[in-house]
Structure 1
């Protein structure tokens, strides 16, 4: 019984990072619009990305190239992280 439990735990630990990675996406694009009141960014790919409440818009402006790491939640693209491309 211990062997079976050990094998199941080992398999679960190997597959859990894959499951977490599968839900995350990234895109490199240019900011088309910044909506501080609506808590979102629109990129030149035509899609809108929602930001979390604690997101800091400081320094972000239209025309900046960014890499956006996001997760799709209930059909919305929610930003997990954002990196400005120099």
Structure 2
């Protein structure tokens, strides 16, 4: 019986989704556009990044060079942190 339970637990652990597989990535680019209402930044890499609701847009505008640290959540790039390189 112990062998059967161990085999079931091993199989379940292999088939379970990996919740810890999300990785933070970063990109260095220039801001192309900002949508404050939709909480999005579009960079010159052509991709759109979602910002948290409490995000402070002060000092950001088109043409500002940034490093964006983000995580992909359900196919959406969500910004974890942002560093301004030059204005």
TM over 0.5: yes
Match of 2:67 in 1: 67
Q: Which has the larger radius of gyration?
A: 2
Q: How does 1:31-70 map to 2 (within 5 A)?
A: 31-70=31-70
Matched residue SS, 2:78: strand
The aligned residue for residue 7 of structure 1 is none
- Structure 1 moving runs of 4+ over 2 Å: none
Please give the alpha-carbon distance, in whole angstroms, between the structure 1 residues aligned to 2:51 and 2:85.
Answer: 18
User: TM-score normalized by structure 2?
Assistant: 0.73
Q: SS of the counterpart of 1:85?
A: strand
1:6-44 Cα deviation digits (max 9, x unpaired): xxxxxxxxxxxxx67x61000000000011011010000
Following the alignment from structure 2 to structure 1, what is the Cα–Cα distance between the partners of residues 38 and 58? 15
Please list every run of 5 or more consecutive structure 2 residues that lacks an aligned counterpart in the other structure: 1-19
Distance 1:78 1:34 in 2: 14
Q: Which runs of 5+ in 1 are unaligned?
A: 1-18
Query: Could you say which residue in structure 1 is the equivalent of 2:28?
Result: 28
- The TM-score with structure 1 as length reference comes to 0.74
Secondary structure, counterpart of 2:58 in structure 1: coil
